[in-house]
Structure 1
C-alpha cells in the first residue's frame, strides 16, 4: 500500500461516510478484532494441551516467566518511573 492510499483512504472516510456509518464500520472492525483474538487464544490453549509437562518443563516455565516480568519492568516500568508526567498515567500504573 502506497502512502497516497493511506491519505486518500483517511480523507475519503471523512468525506464519503456519515458519522453513523463511521461508527458502524468501527464497531464492525472492533468485533472482527475481538473474534480473531479469541480464536488465537483458543488455538494457543489447544497447543498447550498437547505439550507434555515434566519436571524440566516447569523450570523452563519459571525462567520464562521471570524473564518476561523483568523485561516488562524495564520496558514499561523504567520509562514511566523516570518520566511520570510525560505519560499522564494514573498513579501506580507503572509499578504493577
Structure 2
C-alpha cells in the first residue's frame, strides 16, 4: 500500500527528527560504490598469466609442503631464476 502525500510527509518528518537516521549527504552518496566492486582480491600491479604447466611430483610436493602461498613462492623462485639468467646474458 502506497502512503498518501500527508502520510509520506509525516514519515519523512519522523525520519529527519531521528538523530540516528539522518539522510546521507551528497558527498556520502557520491562516495558509495556497489558491493560487487568490493568483492574479491584487489587488482594487482603485477598481472599474472594463467598457464597450464606440468611439474615433476617432487617439485609440486616440495612447494605444497611449505604451506599456504606455495604458488607465489614457486613464482618467486622462477622469477629469480629468470632475472639471474637475464643478467648473465
Larger radius of gyration: 2
Q: Which has the higher helix share?
A: 1
Structure with greater contact order relative to length (CA < 8 Å, sep ≥ 6): 1
Fold in common (TM above 0.5): no
TM-score of the aligned structures, taking structure 1 as reference length: 0.25
TM-score of the aligned structures, taking structure 2 as reference length: 0.26
